[in-house]
Structure 1
Amino acid sequence: MAGLAESGSNPDVDLLYDINGLAKDAPRWLDRAVAFAGTYGLLVAMVLLVAACWWSVRRRGGEDTASSLAALVWTPLAAGIAVLVNVPIRGFVERPSPFRDHQGLDVLASGRTDFSFVSDHATLTMAMGVGLFVAHRKFGLVGIGLALAEGFCRVYMGVHYPTDVVGGFALGTAVVLLLSPPAMMLLTPVLKAVEGSARGVRLVRAPGVRGAGRDAVVPGARTGAAEAEETDLAA
């Protein structure tokens, strides 16, 4: 299967040349910026987005806090599993990087010796984007947008075919959604247990944020009625 997309007469290769051709006409500073974003920047941005989502969910509170945070814990775990699943896929397909089979590409990343299908970067970012979407719709849409940008960058850099990116998107999405039900069954009780502990509650809820329902309080905190009762007893 190493001959997949080796001919330049198919849409996959044509689109590769079209997108990578933008790099030839762009200023060098822009190429360096895209190369940095496609290699490190967007991955870091995705991690920061997950952290921001955790902070937002903590401050919001509510009945679904534990399940939302469980989905956020599942997000990086799913991304790691997806990359591990990709290891045998790459070994089976054995598709060389496009710059090894096609001349005239403006390659913005050097030192690549591994196979091309599917893209680890696309797999990681889309898995995290979809995982975020399961936890929080607005943050998830931003995460999916970052994943799409990552895929574009990898083709722009000349290190992946468009189908490498699409395959990574499909793999990341599949791992997150297919394994999400058992993962949530395991992780949600853990987060609820943390939420119910005096020490762990601050990891799950911001100080002063109440839990499920009007009567829920932070463990260890005293209600106004309890304080009034203590005052009467003291008097």
Structure 2
Amino acid sequence: MAGLEALAALETSGSNPDVTLLYDINGLAADAPGWFDRTMEFVGEYGILLGLVLVALWTWWGARKRETLDDAASSVAAVVWAPLAAAVAVLVNVPIRGFVERPRPFRDHDGLTVLVDGKNDFSFVSDHATLAMAMGAALFVAHRRLGFAAIGLAVLEGFCRVFMGVHYPTDVVGGFALGTAVALLLSPLASALITPLARAVGRTRRVSWLVWAPSAVPAAVEIPEARGASGGAEERDLAA
């Protein structure tokens, strides 16, 4: 309770850096042209989440192309954990929101430019930031380079939520912390549960491509050529 009282005291004080940063970032929306605000509204509400789904699909497509089924199964399991981690993190956030009961910033502070209507639930922590960072952290475990891209999208998501006037910066930071914690702390357990299932799917005939699709084209081309060259040499030796 002491932490909640301190949070409320900061919000009503004039030197609260959380509120100051809120006005600084949201003030950009007031100065921006209408088309830019509409773009940011779409990006912050739907666009970045769609981008994270595309990154996850790209990561899954590459994870299937491992040399062995075991490697492919573990890699695909790590990718599958990304959306599951996001779902678990958002579920964990439900009791947190109900416990903290922090109103949306536009309810306590005047002069904000709110780009999205109908946000009547509590503010801390941000579901969008939680979901985005959970996927980003989980994808980082699956693939470093694409994971960095996903984390970058998550950071942009957090900026958009403050820009849109629907969250405090600390709502976003809290979401980042929650999403990262869920994705990383539960990753070993998720891998232990999902990898055997992925391996079993990889051994099936009809849907094995979902887990394992190694590229065997180079080997298939090189082997006949090598045999042909060898056979030609043997024939030349016999003729001689």
TM-score class normalised by the smaller sequence: 0.7 to 0.9
Residue 17 (structure 1) aligned with residue 60 (structure 2)? no
CA distance in 1, matches of 2:104, 2:15: 17
Aligned residues: 213
Task: Give the deviation of 1:163 after TM superposition.
Answer: 0.3
1:90 equivalent among 77, 84, 97 = 97
CA distance in 2, matches of 1:140, 1:207: 22
Task: Give the deviation of 1:207 after TM superposition.
Answer: 6.3
Residue 142 (structure 1) aligned with residue 149 (structure 2)? yes
Query: By percentage of residues, which structure has more helix?
Result: 2
Q: Confirm or deny: 8 A CA contact 1:61 1:209 kept in the other structure.
A: no
Task: Give the deviation of 1:90 after TM superposition.
Answer: 0.2
Which deviates further from its counterpart, 181-190 or 147-156? 181-190
CA distance in 2, matches of 1:114, 1:67: 38
Task: Give the deviation of 1:199 after TM superposition.
Answer: 2.2
Deviation sequence 1:117-172 (CA, Å, 0-9, x none): 00000000000001100111111000000000000000000100000000000000
Report the equivalent of 2:230.
Answer: none
- For residues 35-50 of structure 1, the aligned pairs below 5 Å read 35-50=41-56
Deviation sequence 1:96-134 (CA, Å, 0-9, x none): 000000000011111110000000000000000011001
Structure 1 gaps of 5+ residues are 215-222, 225-235
CA distance in 2, matches of 1:199, 1:71: 22
2:36 equivalent among 7, 30, 34 = 30
Report the equivalent of 2:83.
Answer: 76
Residue 61 (structure 1) aligned with residue 66 (structure 2)? yes
**Who wins on radius of gyration, i.e. which is larger?**
2
4+ residue segments displaced more than 6 Å: none
Q: Which amino acid aligns with 1:144?
A: I
Task: Give the deviation of 1:13 after TM superposition.
Answer: 0.3
Q: Confirm or deny: 8 A CA contact 2:67 2:214 kept in the other structure.
A: no
Residue 197 (structure 1) aligned with residue 204 (structure 2)? yes
TM-score between both structures, scaled by the size of structure 2: 0.84
Q: Which amino acid aligns with 2:41?
A: A
CA distance in 1, matches of 2:106, 2:32: 19
Q: Which amino acid aligns with 2:54?
A: L
1:177 equivalent among 162, 184, 188 = 184
TM-score between both structures, scaled by the size of structure 1: 0.85
Task: Give the deviation of 1:192 after TM superposition.
Answer: 1.2
Task: Give the deviation of 1:68 after TM superposition.
Answer: 1.0
Task: Give the deviation of 1:190 after TM superposition.
Answer: 1.0
CA distance in 1, matches of 2:114, 2:216: 50
Residue 6 (structure 1) aligned with residue 6 (structure 2)? no
- Percent identity, aligned pairs only, is 64
Residue 188 (structure 1) aligned with residue 195 (structure 2)? yes
Task: Give the deviation of 1:189 after TM superposition.
Answer: 1.0
Residue 163 (structure 1) aligned with residue 135 (structure 2)? no
